[in-house]
Structure 1
């Protein structure tokens, strides 16, 4: 059975009514523009229209504002990350530069003892200072590195200016460091100008160190630089420790005393370096074998560094 198909109507029909309405609206707009140019009678109406349309304008601007805010947050995060990276790089570079003065004088005395093929490397790990002890009789720092990062008791701690102290207590993810100004801390030092070796102990005032075991005829002067000695195998040699401020000697006494100010920024450093000694020894004198290699930041070789100290050398007691 054949059925007659009806012609389909288009979805949108063309009509002259829409064109006429558009033409009328266009003419009305032109008339309003002409009237507005000639007189100011439409100014209140224009102001009211702008106020009514302001929410729509604000809503239309929000996607662009949101895009600018996201871009600002992303750029801020990148800048903070770059700043932290520059801080870490600055700290590592300063730890290398600070040894130049000590090595210049050291080279003249120890060149004959060094082998041309003996190349030493100093391994270091950057750590953040979490807190500082408020006890005036205990100068300590809390660091954000612990046994999980290979930190061990007796490990040397330095900042960008000099030796800060050594680690005395280790937890899984944190460690406590005793500052050189603490009265319980002692460090073997060497007078950079003459090579005289002695022990520097903290005075407990948080600001100075004492050299109480100097012979009466010791050649030591005000402003002499004291650098770390490798005696005991705990502290790497050649790092600035303090600078002599005063020399005290009473006639007839067998010993003299010197007062020195630490080169490190005691209680003012936010980032420090944990150094692995040349012998890699722990507090009990055994060699450290479980140091995670990926935790190290290896510094360039320093050929002028003195040879390794013997393993049976006595350790310095903090």
Structure 2
């Protein structure tokens, strides 16, 4: 009996078409970045629209807060402000002393970096990568590779930018690595992501390296990607196995990567003079530079 409906596309043809499309996407992957950026820019308004219900819920929750709760929060904030004011007074003295020492040694002075507060719009749904989407893009001057921190420490870096949003790769991602140093002894190591939000791994650390549980790791500034001195993680586990060539060191990020909401986008410092000669030469008039340059070079 002849069937009423004709047969559809054969399975062999579907398989062949899928293989051809897969090979084409693999070959053209690097050339599709402009297309991805354009699509991301077009979809950015939709992300803002999708974020509206959450913003409305937050506004409703804040509006329904009781007077006693607000008063309690106000007292706690006042207490924290007093504590931070006392710390700032001590830090101001240390900063002035540090500036005097740097001027004597001819070391570069770290200027205050430009910062912008950004809000998390979306959390990664990809099981193989850990990233968040922020509500600032190229219109705000955001660029690929820009460091991102929160109130506790380093969070990650920008890996994709559109007009109104950007994607931040977290330091816990398996593809992320950040050069750090131990504040206790200035030993430099590299902290690699493990795919777990609260875990970083210090690879290729020699067994003789002076590292202890509880050591604080801060960004070293190497690679010129992350500014120097930002807290990154704290060493939580140290295992030295005789059968292994290197020590197994695990650290915990200081930033709460599983509940971040507001982050800081940081712009690198402007270059500063590296030596006293550079500083003197930068302050001299043009005629004086011409007269002194042969003597300095000698």
Q: What TM-score do the two structures reach when normalised by structure 1?
A: 0.52
SS in 2 for 1:232: helix
Aligned residues of 2:192 and 2:201 also touching (Cα < 8 A) = yes
Bigger RCO of structures 1 and 2 (CA < 8 A, at least 6 apart)? 1
Unmatched tracts of structure 2, length 5 or more: 1-62, 64-72, 276-298
Aligned residues of 1:164 and 1:264 also touching (Cα < 8 A) = yes
2:147 is the counterpart of 1:156: yes
2:197 is the counterpart of 1:206: yes
Q: Provide runs of 4+ in structure 1 moved above 4 Å.
A: 110-114
Aligned residues of 2:111 and 2:270 also touching (Cα < 8 A) = no
Separation (CA, whole Å) in 2 of partners of 1:201 and 1:114: 34
Which of the residues 220, 227, 247 maps onto 2:238?
247
**Radius of gyration: which is bigger?**
1
Separation (CA, whole Å) in 2 of partners of 1:119 and 1:135: 37
Closer/same/farther in 2, CA of residues 279 and 235 from structure 1, 3 Å limit: farther
TM-align CA RMSD = 3.5
Aligned residues of 1:132 and 1:140 also touching (Cα < 8 A) = yes
Describe how 1:1-318 pairs up with structure 2 within 5 A: 115=106, 118=109, 120-251=111-242, 253-278=244-269
Structure 1 residue 162 displacement after superposition:
0.5
> Which one has the bigger helix percentage?
2
Aligned residues of 1:189 and 1:229 also touching (Cα < 8 A) = yes
Structure 1 residue 279 displacement after superposition:
5.8
Structure 1 residue 112 displacement after superposition:
8.9
Separation (CA, whole Å) in 1 of partners of 2:251 and 2:211: 11
Q: What TM-score do the two structures reach when normalised by structure 2?
A: 0.56
Structure 1 residue 252 displacement after superposition:
5.5
Closer/same/farther in 2, CA of residues 212 and 117 from structure 1, 3 Å limit: closer
Aligned residues of 1:132 and 1:267 also touching (Cα < 8 A) = no
Cα shift readout 1:250-301 (whole Å, capped 9, x = no counterpart) = 1264322310000001031211001112368xxxxxxxxxxxxxxxxxxxxx
Closer/same/farther in 2, CA of residues 116 and 182 from structure 1, 3 Å limit: closer
Structure 1 residue 119 displacement after superposition:
5.0
Separation (CA, whole Å) in 1 of partners of 2:174 and 2:149: 18
Separation (CA, whole Å) in 2 of partners of 1:123 and 1:199: 26
Unmatched tracts of structure 1, length 5 or more: 1-75, 77-82, 281-304, 309-318
Aligned residues of 1:233 and 1:278 also touching (Cα < 8 A) = no
Aligned residues of 1:136 and 1:204 also touching (Cα < 8 A) = no
Separation (CA, whole Å) in 1 of partners of 2:232 and 2:142: 21
Separation (CA, whole Å) in 2 of partners of 1:144 and 1:229: 28
Closer/same/farther in 2, CA of residues 112 and 227 from structure 1, 3 Å limit: farther
Cα shift readout 1:185-238 (whole Å, capped 9, x = no counterpart) = 110111111101111011102220000121221111001000011101110111
Separation (CA, whole Å) in 1 of partners of 2:206 and 2:160: 34
Aligned residues of 2:110 and 2:269 also touching (Cα < 8 A) = no
Cα shift readout 1:79-108 (whole Å, capped 9, x = no counterpart) = xxxx9xx9xxx9xx99x98xx7xx99xx7x
Aligned residues of 1:136 and 1:206 also touching (Cα < 8 A) = no
Separation (CA, whole Å) in 1 of partners of 2:245 and 2:103: 33
Closer/same/farther in 2, CA of residues 127 and 249 from structure 1, 3 Å limit: same
